[in-house]
Chain A
Amino acid sequence: MEYSPVVQSHFENPRNVGSFAPATPRVGTGTAGTTDCGDVMKFQIRVDEHQRIAEARFKTFGCAAAIAASSFVTEWLTGRPLDEGETLTPAMITDALSLSTEKQHCSALAVEAVDAARADFEEKWLRPAAGHDA
């Protein structure tokens, strides 16, 4: 099966691969997928004082489409207000990468992992808990 040039570009040269050092402040981490279905995605977002996503990182086990979708999403997230993360939909990723029907689960999984990373950040850094400045 031939992938679109966008998928190939992200797969050949994935952007923002990696993880933040464990002690990095204002980071949210989210994972989605299981090894059973053949895809596991892990996203991290680092959010600045203005609630803007300063940087994003990913690590993904999965097919070329899953890796490309992850790379694409980290680029999309970078520089956006944290709230805007809510507007990311699987259809946006599918369209941007021209994914075929059988690869659409990759888009859904990426959104799931991003949502988990945002929730994790909000849980750890935005809730009025002791020890953290919101």
Chain B
Amino acid sequence: MFDRPVYLDHNATTPTDPTVLEAMLPFFCEHYGNAASRAHRYGWVAEQAYDDAREQVAALIGASRREIVFTSGATESNNLAIKGVAEMYADRGRHIVTVATEHHAVLDPCDYLRDHRGCDVTVLGVDAEGRVDVDAVAEAIGDETILISVMLASNETGTLQPLGDIARIAKDRGVLVHTDAVQAVGRIPVDVNELGVDLLSMSGHKLYGPKGVGALYVRRKGPRVRLSPQMHGGGHERGLRSGTLNTPGIVGMGAACDLARRTMADESSRQGGLRDRLERMLSERIPYIKQNGCVEARLPNTSNLTFAFVEGEALMMKMKTIAVSSGSACSSAADEASHVLRAMGLPEALAHASLRFSLGRGTDVADVDYAVDCLTRAVADLRRISPLYDAACDNGDASGIEWFSGEPKASETS
């Protein structure tokens, strides 16, 4: 039926939209100038292309053109924001507040600053739905606090953080707010002024643009945010990020943002409908499923589900015709379950039994229905092999399954 696996892993990356690729192509062999060449036409064409792209990126998040710094991707944007603030404002304070469910591209720079630059880092926990408590953020702010970094939407569960409330408190206390908005931008409306954030990271390849390009929004007014550059050289990007600009990538990122701005409303509701269909059909067919994350405040394309008693990697291997991602990092040497799910209080056994489905523009009803069929079979197969499923069927009190309500279907016991 399908010549390649059904792709339900759009939070990992998205395909480059063909219209985006088309916009990029002239900037390889034809308009290959360097904007730093200010004396000839080749340079001017590149300059104009950056200006246009900057405008397109800014328009998607309600920013102005001069507040956009192009980077190599969201990891660089996060590093520039967090380390750049820590260095620039070191004389004002050395305390950073972040959250346990952040991406490693936020947590690791914070760890670095703590271990090598003498910063204090407070890592706040989350509730069972993956949301940080606004009061806890307020309590964590001290005289030394210079930055709060909280993601807008979780890559693993899609849960949205109460970022607007956090930013309001931070502003009252004179603390800067950075957000890793990689998963949110292009999927839900994002406006830097409504949110009140000072720094916002985004990525090209998460919104149908190319890989290797990203952007950092840096507020210029109220307050004017200053950053210590992390890449030194020719003074590109107003000195914030030296290095000849990735012209095709930047043009592609601009085109992708423009496309997202025009199609987002329709796509959000369409993908949300498909995601709800996926969850509804799975919960009708497979007992012992749990949805992870916040139901009310969640990205429309993301579903994180626990299939109790089966291990995530094995489940993915059973479904070679579906591309999803697992809450279990069993293939890594660490062999640990997702730090995000564990921070939400999910027992290890259930975190290992979790899959993330992330839908995208290419996903249709047939994909969803096919995935449901594959999952239903694969889960039944693996539960037949699972000693944990036996234990639960025998005594109904296997650890970590207190949230189950229904009885297992007789057809599924071996």
Q: Which of A11, A18, A42, A63 meets B330, CB within 8 Å? A: A63
A60 touches B387 (CB 8 A): yes
B385 touches A59 (CB 8 A): yes
Q: Which of A18, A35, A42, A63 meets B313, CB within 8 Å? A: A63
The answer to whether the Cβ of A111 comes within 8 Å of any Cβ in the partner chain is no
Interface residues of A, dominant DSSP: mixed
CB neighbours of A64 from chain B (8 A): 313-314, 317
Measured between alpha carbons, how far is A67 from B389 in the docked complex, in Å? 15
Measured between alpha carbons, how far is A64 from B315 in the docked complex, in Å? 8
CB neighbours of A40 from chain B (8 A): 387-388
CB neighbours of A66 from chain B (8 A): 311, 314
A62 touches B390 (CB 8 A): no
A38 touches B387 (CB 8 A): no
The answer to whether the Cβ of B110 comes within 8 Å of any Cβ in the partner chain is no
CB neighbours of A63 from chain B (8 A): 311, 313-314, 317, 328, 330-331
The answer to whether the Cβ of B366 comes within 8 Å of any Cβ in the partner chain is no
A61 touches B309 (CB 8 A): yes
Measured between alpha carbons, how far is A40 from B399 in the docked complex, in Å? 13
CB neighbours of B310 from chain A (8 A): 61
Known contacts A60-B385, A60-B387; is A36 also within 8 Å of B348 by CB? yes
Measured between alpha carbons, how far is A42 from B317 in the docked complex, in Å? 21
Q: Distance (Å) between the CB of B206 and the closest chain A CB?
A: 23
The answer to whether the Cβ of B131 comes within 8 Å of any Cβ in the partner chain is no
B387 touches A1 (CB 8 A): no
Known contacts A64-B313, A67-B314, A102-B332; is A35 also within 8 Å of B384 by CB? no
CB neighbours of A19 from chain B (8 A): 390, 414
A38 touches B328 (CB 8 A): yes
Known contacts A64-B313, A64-B314; is A35 also within 8 Å of B399 by CB? yes
Measured between alpha carbons, how far is A102 from B336 in the docked complex, in Å? 12
A59 touches B330 (CB 8 A): no
B317 touches A17 (CB 8 A): no
B348 touches A102 (CB 8 A): no
CB neighbours of A62 from chain B (8 A): 311, 314, 330
Q: Interface size for chain A: under 10, 10 to 19, 20 to 34, or 35 or more residues?
A: 20 to 34
A38 touches B385 (CB 8 A): no
Interface size on B, residues (CB 8 A): 27
CB neighbours of B128 from chain A (8 A): none
Most buried by A among B311, B313, B386, B388: B311
Q: Distance (Å) between the CB of A98 and the closest chain B CB?
A: 15
Measured between alpha carbons, how far is A3 from B348 in the docked complex, in Å? 25
Q: Distance (Å) between the CB of B395 and the closest chain A CB?
A: 14
Measured between alpha carbons, how far is A60 from B386 in the docked complex, in Å? 5
The answer to whether the Cβ of B162 comes within 8 Å of any Cβ in the partner chain is no
B314 touches A35 (CB 8 A): no
CB neighbours of A31 from chain B (8 A): 387
Q: Distance (Å) between the CB of A27 and the closest chain B CB?
A: 15
CB neighbours of B309 from chain A (8 A): 61
The answer to whether the Cβ of A81 comes within 8 Å of any Cβ in the partner chain is no
B311 touches A61 (CB 8 A): yes
Most buried by B among A36, A40, A64, A66: A64
The answer to whether the Cβ of B29 comes within 8 Å of any Cβ in the partner chain is no
The answer to whether the Cβ of A105 comes within 8 Å of any Cβ in the partner chain is yes
The answer to whether the Cβ of A79 comes within 8 Å of any Cβ in the partner chain is no
Task: Give per-residue flags for A86-105: 1 if the beta carbon is below 8 A from chain B beta carbons, else 0.
Answer: 00000000000000011001
Closest to B347 in A: A35
The answer to whether the Cβ of B333 comes within 8 Å of any Cβ in the partner chain is yes
Measured between alpha carbons, how far is A60 from B332 in the docked complex, in Å? 20
Closest to A100 in B: B331
The answer to whether the Cβ of A129 comes within 8 Å of any Cβ in the partner chain is no
The answer to whether the Cβ of B349 comes within 8 Å of any Cβ in the partner chain is yes
Task: Give per-residue flags for A57-78: 1 if the beta carbon is below 8 A from chain B beta carbons, else 0.
Answer: 0111111101100000000000
Most buried by A among B330, B349, B390, B400: B330
Closest to A38 in B: B352
CB contact list, B166-190 vs A, under 8 A: none
B414 touches A42 (CB 8 A): no
The answer to whether the Cβ of B49 comes within 8 Å of any Cβ in the partner chain is no
B317 touches A59 (CB 8 A): no
A-B contact pairs, 22 of them (CB 8 A): A1-B331, A3-B317, A35-B347, A35-B348, A36-B349, A38-B328, A38-B335, A38-B348, A38-B352, A42-B387, A59-B387, A59-B390, A61-B309, A61-B385, A61-B387, A61-B389, A62-B311, A62-B314, A63-B311, A63-B313, A64-B313, A102-B333
Residues of chain A touching chain B, judged by Cβ–Cβ distance below 8 Å, are: 1, 3, 11, 14, 17-19, 31, 35-42, 58-64, 66-67, 101-102, 105
4 closest A-B pairs by beta carbon, nearest first, are A35-B349, A59-B387, A64-B317, A42-B387
